[in-house]
Chain A
Amino acid sequence: MTTALSQGLTLAWRSLIPLKNSPGQLFGMLFQPVFMIVIFVYLFGGAAGGDRAGAVAYMLPGVLVQVALMSTITTGMNLATDIGNGVFDRFRTMPIARSAPLAGRIMADLLTLLITIAMSMIVGYAVGFRVTTDPIAALAGLGLVLLLAMALSWGSAWIGLVAKSVTSMQGISTAVLLPLTFGSSAFVPATDMPGWLTWWMSVNPVSHLAGALRGFLTGGLHVSDLWITLGWTAALLALFVPLALRAYNRRVR
């Protein structure tokens, strides 16, 4: 068990090295939140009129959720890459724990997710966002984002393990994530929308996650948002963890 853990940690380290090797990748990861905030707060937020402070307060939780969820694509992409170029086969011919490559991947992605979330908060503070509740509530809100992102990572892992190629993996996950993140009330309230879109935005877990995060960070939490998000997280985990593990076991027999 301890060897499985240390092998998992070694493989997590391996997954993080590319960030060190190619500064461009690290830069992209760190500055994606900056670009997103600039785009949504200054570009779209400005276009919508109204005061900037209000736009920042509404948009930042949405941007944070968006950035966190989009980053889940990397889990499946990296698995698909490893399978495609034979790295996975190399691990399979070695006397290491079967679970180590998957565990290493998930640990590494969790860490990058934490960095992304932290970076989003730093940028948010720089443009005037303030937590108006208390630190515990803020941490609970960020933890909730981490939870749903983790659940989606398992979905991403499953797609990565069954996809025919990295490109198809990327295509499929983008097609799933774009309507989830943009078709939500993360950036715009679900008013003045066509009926079908309002309906979708009201069932979309991302709307509830963004709503709950907003509540945790700036007050006015609807408890229903919290429960609906937790419910979705549980449902996604119940669906994708077994699917991903089954696909994985098939790959690593």
Chain B
Amino acid sequence: MPAGPDTVGDMKYAIEAEGLVKRYGDKTALDGIDLRVRTGAVLGVLGPNGAGKTTAVRILATLAAPDAGRALVGGYDVTRQARKVRELIGLTGQYASVDEKLTGPQNLLLMGRLLGLSRSEARTRAAELLARFGLEEAAGRAASGYSGGMRRRLDLAVSLVSRPRILFLDEPTTGLDPHARGELWEVVRELTADGVTVLLTTQYLEEADQLADDLLVIDRGRVAAAGTPDELKALAGGHRLDVKPLHAADLEKAEAILGAKAVDGVVSIPVHDLAEPPAALRALDDAAIVLAEHALRLPSLDDVFLTLTGDPR
């Protein structure tokens, strides 16, 4: 027997998917994805554009049916028990899906009424969410006049009217400025503190590093790696040496000496032995390459991404 909504908190995994496949015509968007999200945790799904992140979210949020594989959300099958799943989830899409002709309060009121709240309950809930998301000032304006950050906050607020226990955030901060991004991160942290399970897709490694307990890297519809941020960083090796030649003309020579490709004018190599950096720097010096900067650092998720997908974001 599948568990009821009130038992989501007792389940080990709020979201479980096995072998998800989705094709659009002759294009394979998902080519067998397995994923699990621990109840109350944040899973960050990372991948370049077109990796299949949004397709995976659409399947888990009952918007698309998988061609193969199965998925349980809150213990319910997403295809056969879609309605049960819908009672548990909230979705904030990559593109804000609020009604732009309605004001923020009207959007929130609409959701409350659709979910069966009475007029006064819906009003109260709308007022709560407006205050929480700092949207009170814009209350009289249609959402089409909101800034990108405000619209995204409203979109998130709208998906929280039902107090979902499981929340899908599909690239929630794409296109936002750093300030608006930080504000959204704060909200996600508050939600997870309340025990909400979050599946978050992002192209920003920093975002995943900030918010996610577990990470899944997908590339071309397949899982490239899974683990905690620390585990994934370990995949990229220990320390790294970054060198940046002063003259762009020296970049190719530096690449040849160090045996690595440059990204944004910086050549980065894994360091296995602390005797390696001085040797590498000497080799560059012998080749008369002047460096603008060099640094020894711990690997970032960018390095993981590069190692796994062979693609500098």
Contact = CB atoms under 8 A, between A and B. Distances in A.
Interface of A: 3, 7, 10-11, 13-14, 17-18, 21-22, 82, 85-87, 89-96, 100, 253
B93 interface: yes
B153 to A, nearest CB: 15
A89 B102 CA distance: 17
Contacts of A17: 101-102, 106
Contacts, number: 70
Contacts of A85: 95-97, 100
B268 interface: no
B83 interface: yes
B89 interface: yes
Contact of B63 (A18, A21, A89): A89
Nearest to A96: B114
A112 to B, nearest CB: 14
Given A10-B114, A17-B106, A21-B142, A93 B86 contact: yes
A3 B96 contact: no
A92 B95 contact: no
A95 B65 CA distance: 17
Contact of B101 (A10, A21, A91): A21
Contact of B102 (A21, A91, A94, A100): A21
Given A21-B103, A22-B142, A253-B65, A94 B115 contact: yes
Given A14-B110, A21-B142, A92 B62 contact: yes
Given A89-B97, A94-B162, 12 more contacts: A10-B110, A11-B110, A14-B102, A17-B106, A89-B93, A90-B93, A90-B97, A90-B98, A91-B114, A93-B91, A94-B115, A95-B86
A86 B96 contact: yes
Contacts of A253: 65
- Give the interface centre of A3, A86, A96 by most chain B CB atoms within 10 Å: A86
A86 B97 contact: yes
Contact of B62 (A87, A90, A93): A93
Interface centre among B65, B103, B106 (most CB of A within 10 A): B106
B65 A90 contact: no
A96 B91 CA distance: 15
A90 B160 CA distance: 12
A180 B32 CA distance: 51
B75 to A, nearest CB: 16
B97 A95 contact: no
Contact of A92 (B63, B100, B102): B63
For the complex of A and B, 3 pairs with smallest distance between CB atoms: A86-B97, A18-B101, A90-B97
Contacts of A14: 99, 102, 106, 110
Interface string B77-98: 0000001001101110101111
Nearest to A100: B114
A82 B98 CA distance: 9
A96 B103 CA distance: 22
Contacts of A18: 101-102, 142
B113 interface: yes
Contacts of B159: 90
Interface string B136-161: 00000010000000000000001100
B172 to A, nearest CB: 14
Given A3-B116, A21-B142, A87-B97, A93 B102 contact: no
Contacts of B96: 85-86
A90 B91 contact: yes
Contacts of B91: 89-90, 93
Contacts of A95: 83, 86-87, 115
Nearest to B64: A253
B99 A87 contact: yes
Contacts of A94: 86, 111, 114-115, 162
A86 B95 CA distance: 7
A10 B103 CA distance: 16
A16 B111 CA distance: 16
A100 B110 CA distance: 13
B65 A10 contact: no
B217 interface: no
B61 interface: yes
A13 B111 CA distance: 12
Contact of B61 (A3, A11, A93): A93
B233 to A, nearest CB: 34
A94 B163 CA distance: 12
B60 to A, nearest CB: 10
A87 B98 contact: yes
A100 B86 CA distance: 15
A169 B116 CA distance: 33
Contacts of A100: 114
Contacts of B162: 94
B122 to A, nearest CB: 10
